[in-house]
C-alpha cells in the first residue's frame, strides 16, 4: 500500500520525504516519526468535533484502534482533541461517528452492537482493517535485525494468548518496500517459535529504510 506523506519533510540524519518516498535512516522511535509525519500533513482540527488544535493540546487517534490491529502508520493516525480521543476509546472511526449521533437510550444498545461486531471479527480474521492494506508474506522474505535482547515479554505473551484464543495473529507486521521490518518484531519471534510460515503484513511501497544491511 501507499503511505500518505507530506510533500516536504526532513529531520536530519533520521528521515526525509523526497519525490513522494519516505527514506528512513534509523528505525528507532519509528512511532514518533509516524506521529510527526501525520502532524505535518493533516489539518490541525479535531476530526470529530472540529475544534482547532495546537501541537501541545492535540493527540493522534488510531482510526482503526490498536486492539483491532490498528498499526501506527500515517494513514491510520488523525488529529483529535484529547477529550474526543478518550471518548472514542477503541471504537472504529465510523462506529464512533454513529455513536455520536445517537441519543442516550440508543447509545447503550449501539455500544453493545459494536462490541459484538468486534468480537465476531476478531475470531474470524484476527483484526479489523481495510483488506487492501494487508497482504500475506512469507516470513523467510522478511529482513530484520534482531535487537539483541530476548523480547519474549508482555507483548509476546499477549500474542500467544490471542493465538490460543482465536488461532489468528492480532495484527499485521509493517514492512518497507524491500521487506525490511519496520514494526512487529514480536510477531516475527512468535511466528518462528510456532512455526508459522505466512503472516499478514502491511507493505509500504513508498517507504525505504536506507543503510540496512542484513
Pairing relationship of beta strands 135-138 and 77-80 according to DSSP bridges: unpaired
The nearer residue to Zn ion, 84 or 204, going by C-beta atoms, is 84
53 binds Zn ion (CB under 5 A): no
Burial class (CB in 10 A: 0-12, 13-18, 19+), 148: exposed
Q: What are phi and psi of 59, to 5 degrees?
A: -125, 165
For residues 43 and 51, give the distance between their C-alpha atoms in angstroms, rounded to a whole number. 11
In the bound complex, what is the minimum distance in angstroms from residue 103's beta carbon to Zn ion?
20
Closer Cβ to Zn ion, 81 or 187, answer by number:
81
Size of the site for Zn ion (CB under 5 A): 6
Stretch touching Zn ion by CB under 5 A, among 26-34, 40-48, 150-158, 161-169: 40-48
49 binds Zn ion (CB under 5 A): yes
Candidate residues 48, 78, 114, 162; the one interacting with Zn ion per rule CB under 5 A: 48
Burial class (CB within 10 angstroms; exposed 0-12, middle 13-18, buried 19+) of 169: buried
- Which of 64, 96, 46 has the alpha carbon at shortest distance from 171? 64
Q: Which of 3, 15, 33, 46 is the binder for Zn ion (CB under 5 A)?
A: 46
Tell me how far, at minimum, the Cβ of 94 lies from Zn ion, in Å: 16
Smallest separation, CB 59 to Zn ion (Å):
9
DSSP state of 2: P
With binding defined as CB under 5 A, does residue 78 bind Zn ion? no
Q: Measured from the CB of residue 97, what is the shortest distance to Zn ion in angstroms?
A: 12
| Choices 3-11, 57-65, 76-84, 89-97 (CB under 5 A): range interacting with Zn ion | 76-84
For 65, residues 6+ apart whose C-beta sits below 8 A from its C-beta are 89, 90, 91, 92
Torsion-angle region of 43 (φ positive above 0: left; ψ -120 to 50: alpha; else: beta): beta
* Residue 39 or 163 having the CB closest to Zn ion: 39
SS (H, E, C) 49-93: CCCECCHHHCEEEECCCHHHCCCCCHHHEEEECHHHHHHHCCCCH
Q: Does 96 participate in binding Zn ion (rule CB under 5 A)? A: no
User: Could you list the residues that contact Zn ion (CB under 5 A)?
Assistant: 46, 48-49, 51, 81, 84
Amino acid at each position: 500500500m501507499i503511505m500518505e506523506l507530506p510533500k516536504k519533510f526532513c529531520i536530519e540524519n533520521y528521515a526525509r520525504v523526497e519525490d513522494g518516498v519516505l527514506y528512513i535512516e534509523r528505525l528507532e522511535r519509528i512511532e514518533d516519526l509516524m506521529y510527526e509525519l501525520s502532524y505535518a500533513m493533516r489539518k490541525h482540527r479535531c476530526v470529530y468535533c472540529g475544534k482547532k488544535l495546537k501541537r501541545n493540546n492535540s493527540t493522534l487517534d488510531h482510526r482503526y484502534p490498536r486492539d483491532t490491529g490498528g498499526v501506527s502508520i500515517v494513514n491510520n493516525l488523525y488529529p483529535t482533541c484529547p477529550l474526543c480521543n478518550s471518548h472514542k476509546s477503541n471504537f472504529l472511526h465510523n462506529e464512533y461517528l454513529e455513536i455520536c449521533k445517537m441519543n442516550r437510550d440508543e447509545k447503550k444498545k449501539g455500544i453493545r452492537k459494536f462490541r459484538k461486531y468486534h468480537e465476531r471479527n476478531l475470531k474470524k480474521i484476527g483484526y479489523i482493517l481495510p483488506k487492501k492494506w494487508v497482504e500475506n508474506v512469507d516470513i523467510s522474505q522478511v529482513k530484520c535485525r534482531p535487537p539483541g535482547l530476548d523480547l519474549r515479554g508482555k507483548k509476546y505473551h499477549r500474542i500467544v494468548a490471542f493465538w490460543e484464543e482465536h488461532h489468528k495473529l492480532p495484527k499485521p507486521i509493517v514492512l518497507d518496500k524491500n521487506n525490511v521490518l519496520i514494526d512487529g518484531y514480536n510477531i516475527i519471534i512468535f511466528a518462528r517459535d510456532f512455526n508459522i510460515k505466512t503472516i499478514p503484513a502491511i507493505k509500504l511501497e513508498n517507504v525505504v529504510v536506507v543503510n540496512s544491511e542484513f
